[in-house]
Amino acid sequence: MKALPSAAGASAKGRIAELDGLRAVAIAAVFLHHACRTPLLWAGVDIFFVLSGFLITGILLERKARGGAYFKYFYERRVRRILPPYYLALLLSSLLFGWEWLRHWYWFAFFGMNIGESIKRSHFSVQPYWSLAVEEQFYFVWPWVMLAVSARNLRRICIAMLFIAPLLRILFTPLFHNHFPIYFLTPFRADLLCAGALIALLWREDRVRLAAWSKWSWAIALAGMVAMIGVSYFPAWRAQSNTREANGGLYSITLVIAAGLLLWALRGEGWFCKFLRWAPVRYLGLISYSMYLVHTTFVMLGRKWFGETTWKIALTAAVLTVGYGSVAWFGWERRILHWGLPASQPLPTVETEALHS
């Protein structure tokens, strides 16, 4: 079996352009789910989880191989990337819809929004922050695990989590009155992050095996989509039903979809990868973090202005979300990422910014 080639969009610095495009697919799905109440597209956030596991594991593998400032480099970059856009988006939501979240400020201050959401739903404009908490909680643990164990054992841990997380979801289902704790809490969603981590380990260490999987990546993703649509016709398999079937199996189906799409993107070949490399799609992926943070704020604003006229809400929210994401990226995000680096190094652009999560 021939080894998987580097993606066509990869630069000399290791940037994989297709993954920016995959981010755009994820944010588009989540946006349509919230703005148009499109069913099933909530699974876009699961694409973010798998992609995050892949990217973060890749960064940590590189730092571990280099030696030196492992934790300092990783956490300093996480702080620069995550916190400034996060607090500015929270400020925007507060100015538009009030400061009610301050009643539970500790969830927001210490990245426990997913725990808070599993107990009591917050204002719609800040609800997407739960997924950020899942990723941050993963970041607190995963770098230590990666430093302590070998690549072979890391693969074993990732594979084990693909089975442990669904089992936990099944076992804990009777303890909850609704599906939100299963949907929001990190131990129940860790299989998605570990799936991305496993792909990153194979991408670095065993591309021949990865090539065998990625050859059928389109079929894997398609099979997952067909399965998700199919089970949605059975009430017991709908997320909100809070059944063992839904909690145990539905999120494993979305994992299959997300992992299939990631493997497809990594092939760097075919119409899907050409679409992901298309400049407008890559651009949306580049600014997707701030877009994700504010899109529900603008959806709420659209509903305040237009009632339940869906197309007006979606169009207005899309324009404002992309506009804010663009201003955020060029105004401060890329500058904060560059701050403190040598003055001779140019500010990152759409073409040159290093791949980040």
User: How many CA atoms does the CB half-sphere of 296 hold within 13 Å?
Assistant: 21
Using a pLDDT cut of 90, give the percent of the chain over it: 77
**Do residues 64 and 147 make contact, with C-beta atoms less than 8 angstroms apart?**
yes
User: How many CA atoms does the CB half-sphere of 131 hold within 13 Å?
Assistant: 22
List, in order, residues 6 or more apart from 69 with CB less than 8 Å away. Answer: 63
User: In three state form, how does the secondary structure of 200-212 look?
Assistant: HHHHHHCHHHHHH
The b/e string for 89-100 (b: 16+ C-beta within 10 A; e otherwise) is bbebbbeebeee
Give the SS3 label for residue 347.
coil
What is the per-residue pLDDT across 166-204, written as a single tens digit (0 to 9) for each? 999 999 999 999 999 999 999 999 999 999 999 999 998
pLDDT of 346 above 90? no
Local structure of residue 177 (DSSP, 8 states): S
Kindly provide the residue ranges of all beta strands, DSSP E only, lying in the chain, ordered along the sequence. none
Q: Supply the pLDDT for residue 10.
A: 44
C-alpha to C-alpha distances, 250 to 78, 131, 139, 282, nearest whole angstrom: 30, 17, 25, 29
What are residue 16's DSSP bridge partners? Answer: 10
Q: Supply the pLDDT for residue 38.
A: 95
90/85 Cα distance (integer angstroms): 8
Selection from 342, 297, 351, 318 nearest residue 88 by Cα: 297
Selection from 165, 198, 195, 199 nearest residue 183 by Cα: 165
Selection from 233, 144, 153 nearest residue 198 by Cα: 153
What is the per-residue pLDDT across 278-320, written as a single tens digit (0 to 9) for each? 999 999 999 999 999 999 999 999 999 999 899 999 999 999 9
Top pLDDT among 10 and 90 is at: 90
pLDDT of 3 above 80? no
pLDDT of 104 above 90? no
Q: Supply the pLDDT for residue 4.
A: 58
pLDDT of 126 above 50? yes
**Do residues 257 and 228 make contact, with C-beta atoms less than 8 angstroms apart?**
yes
What is the per-residue pLDDT across 226-281, written as a single tens digit (0 to 9) for each? 999 999 999 999 999 999 999 999 999 999 999 999 999 999 889 999 999 999 99
pLDDT, mean over the chain: 90
Top pLDDT among 16 and 12 is at: 16
Least confident of 58-62, 206-210, 261-265, 267-271: 206-210
Query: What average pLDDT does range 84-93 have in this prediction?
Result: 95
Q: Read off the tokens for 228.
A: 């998700």
307/141 Cα distance (integer angstroms): 43
68: confidence class by pLDDT, cuts 50, 70, 90:
confident
The one-letter amino acid code at 34 reads H
261/265 Cα distance (integer angstroms): 6
pTM equals: 0.92
342: confidence class by pLDDT, cuts 50, 70, 90:
low
Phi, psi dihedral angles at 15 (to 5 degrees)? -70, 135
Top pLDDT among 220 and 357 is at: 220
Q: Supply the pLDDT for residue 340.
A: 64
Q: Read off the tokens for 351.
A: 């073409």
Top pLDDT among 337 and 320 is at: 320
Q: Supply the pLDDT for residue 129.
A: 94
